[in-house]
Amino acid sequence: MMTPPAYPMGGGFMPSPNFGPLSQPMGHLPAGYLAPSLQQAVSALTPGLYRAASECRVIRGSSYGAVLANVLGKVSFAVSSNFRIRGHNGRSMPLSLHIRFAGARLSGKTEAHDRFNAPIIEAMKGWRKRWLFDNVLPPTLLRKIRAGSVLIMLSMSEGRDHLDGPLSRSFQDLSDLYDSTLPPFDRADDDDEDLVEHAPDSAIFVTCVNVQDDKNREWLNKHGQSAIGSGYVFRLLMMESDELAIEGAGEQQPEFALRDYDHRIVELVASGLMKLKSMPVNKLPELKVEPAAEHVLRQAQERFKFMASVSAMLPERDTTVFAVRLVANARRIAGCMHVFEGYDGPVSVDTVTRAVTIAEFFGERWLATVFPPKPVPPHVLRGQRLLNYLYARALQAGLHAPSCRKADIEALAPNFGWAKAEMVEAITWICEQGFAQVVPRIENGRRVIKFELLPNSPGFMPSHQGYPPRLI
């Protein structure tokens, strides 16, 4: 459910107050929770960006995923040379984003990449330092940065070779550059005293890489564990989508919002280059965040932790890392939209709420890509099916905590097409999950083994108290 536009002249939609961090208790997801959809994430863009993204979709035909990833990446490059943003700990952080869009063939990756890159290429023509890279080797990239290329974008419309190259797995260097910090010198650089003496302390490094989804899965299979262990992949906004492009209107429809986007990007790049001539990257002006917006980010972090623990069953340490990094990206996205729109003052609750919606969408896609659901074991499926059957019968009979003889439950095995041993496995799983218990009782002076559904198990919790068991 979406509310009317937050700005009367805008095109972006303000996320509903019932769909966001303000309405839910910390540490809990609402009953029936669903992460934001791709369309909701696009609609959460601030008005100028929303109109440009929508027009690119209509005219160029690119998929929504390609449009969202590429517009955020290019805007991040334009704004990150103008401002930094205050982090939760009071220290400033760059507005640079690291984005990877893994799309299907014919998803419109190239069209979105080229269109949103066009004004940046035009605005950077007067910049003498190398700034645009594709499948570059790490030593070359670092040498260029240390020689003064402090504003850099790694941008590819089809980065298939990049995922085969060493830079894609240079996790420590990428983590340092994500924080605008230059990696330390290695022994190969020690002999160049002039380079060591004059190397900058910080640099802006934005990545917006488009790849095909099969190549991204291959990369994760090979390097996923190393990327997780290094911590870099938690910093990466990654989206995998099977959405295809549509037939756009092309020249039959003139560009209006995209021309406004071009004009604003050229302005931002020009002002950013002027600032970089007079100050280092780590001394750029700092955006502040409204106290109420900080509260939104704190609540979002709790929700992101729970999302990771439920959907990917991550250990507590990894859920915390996932949530902290995703909130940091939400903060950066909010800063990017704030600067692009030319808003005054600190970053507002409205902008942060929009950014949280976008980051939450990326987070759900990230979890599904990095930690894809594993096949459910057959005995678990049988246990869920049996529990669903028993739970439905209890509700129909109006029973709070029904019980029956265990032997009677085992006798139902043929009705499910199971062997008796498979029914016993299902009963055992239900008890292991805490939904029921098998206990001896005395009935009419005789000892019997009873199977009892527990009244306080998740299966009998009202839906507003949290997730009921996943019954099928």
Instruction: Examine the domain organization and report whether 83 and 56 are in the same domain.
Output: yes
Instruction: Examine the domain organization and report whether 442 and 365 are in the same domain.
Output: no
Q: How confident is the model at residue 114 (pLDDT cuts 50, 70, 90)?
A: very high
Bridge partner residues of 219 (DSSP): none
Q: Is residue 346 part of a domain?
A: yes
CB-based contact 97:66 (threshold 8 Å): no
Q: Is residue 472 part of a domain?
A: no
CB count within 10 Å of CB 82 equals 23
Instruction: Examine the domain organization and report whether 357 and 430 are in the same domain.
Output: no
User: Whole-model pTM?
Assistant: 0.78
Instruction: Examine the domain organization and report whether 454 and 357 are in the same domain.
Output: no
CATH classification of the domain holding 446: 1.10.10
Q: How confident is the model at residue 188 (pLDDT cuts 50, 70, 90)?
A: low
Please tell me the distance from the alpha carbon of residue 336 to that of residue 347, in angstroms, as a whole number.
10
Taking all residues of the chain, what is their mean pLDDT, rounded to a whole number? 86
Instruction: Examine the domain organization and report whether 165 and 254 are in the same domain.
Output: yes
What is the average per-residue pLDDT within 404-430? Answer: 90
CA-based R_g, the chain, Å: 26
Instruction: Examine the domain organization and report whether 101 and 198 are in the same domain.
Output: yes
What is the average per-residue pLDDT within 293-321? Answer: 89
Query: What is the length of the chain?
Result: 472
Please tell me the distance from the alpha carbon of residue 365 to that of residue 368, in angstroms, as a whole number.
5
For residue 17, which amino acid is it? Answer: P
What is the average per-residue pLDDT within 289-309? Answer: 94
Q: Strand ranges (DSSP E) for 118-257?
A: 132-133, 151-156, 204-212, 237-241
Instruction: Examine the domain organization and report whether 318 and 441 are in the same domain.
Output: no
Instruction: Examine the domain organization and report whether 404 and 350 are in the same domain.
Output: no
Q: Is the pLDDT of residue 190 over 80?
A: no
Q: Is residue 471 part of a domain?
A: no
Q: Is residue 313 part of a domain?
A: yes
Q: Is residue 470 part of a domain?
A: no
Q: How confident is the model at residue 197 (pLDDT cuts 50, 70, 90)?
A: low
- Segment among 185-194, 270-279, 299-308 with least mean pLDDT: 185-194
Query: How many domains, in total, are found in the chain?
Result: 2
CB count within 10 Å of CB 455 equals 12
Please tell me the distance from the alpha carbon of residue 101 to that of residue 69, in angstroms, as a whole number.
6
Q: Is the pLDDT of residue 26 over 50?
A: no
Instruction: Examine the domain organization and report whether 344 and 413 are in the same domain.
Output: no
Please tell me the distance from the alpha carbon of residue 368 to that of residue 107, in angstroms, as a whole number.
19
- Segment among 158-167, 225-234, 281-290, 381-390 with least mean pLDDT: 381-390
Q: Is the pLDDT of residue 25 over 60?
A: no
Q: Is residue 265 part of a domain?
A: yes
Max CA pair span of the chain = 96
CATH classification of the domain holding 301: 3.40.50
Q: How confident is the model at residue 24 (pLDDT cuts 50, 70, 90)?
A: very low
Q: How far apart are the first and last CA of the chain?
A: 26
For residue 215, which amino acid is it? Answer: K
pLDDT, residue 457, reads: 55
**Which pair of structure tokens corresponds to residue 376?**
């459910």
Q: Last residue of a domain, which of 311, 341, 370?
A: 370
Q: Is residue 252 part of a domain?
A: yes
Q: Last residue of a domain, which of 350, 370, 390?
A: 370
Instruction: Examine the domain organization and report whether 80 and 191 are in the same domain.
Output: yes
Nearest residue to 155 via CA among 179, 181, 136, 139: 136
Instruction: Examine the domain organization and report whether 352 and 394 are in the same domain.
Output: no
Instruction: Examine the domain organization and report whether 205 and 306 are in the same domain.
Output: yes
What is the average per-residue pLDDT within 63-85? Answer: 98
Q: Is the pLDDT of residue 215 over 70?
A: yes
Instruction: Answer positive or negative: Cα dihedral of 147, 283, 356, 320.
Output: positive
Containing structural domain, residue 436? 378-465
The residue whose two tokens read 């099977």 is 242
Bridge partner residues of 205 (DSSP): 152
Phi, psi of 306 (to 5 degrees): -70, -40
pLDDT digits over 88-100, tens only?
A: 888 999 999 999 9
What is the average per-residue pLDDT within 79-94? Answer: 95
CB-based contact 289:85 (threshold 8 Å): yes
**Which pair of structure tokens corresponds to residue 453?**
């559904």
Q: How confident is the model at residue 189 (pLDDT cuts 50, 70, 90)?
A: low
For residue 18, which amino acid is it? Answer: N
Q: Is residue 148 part of a domain?
A: yes
What is the average per-residue pLDDT within 309-336? Answer: 91
Q: How confident is the model at residue 341 (pLDDT cuts 50, 70, 90)?
A: very high
Distances (CA, A) of 186 to 2, 202, 255, 331, 335: 52, 17, 49, 33, 34
Q: Is the pLDDT of residue 456 over 80?
A: no
Q: Last residue of a domain, which of 353, 370, 387?
A: 370
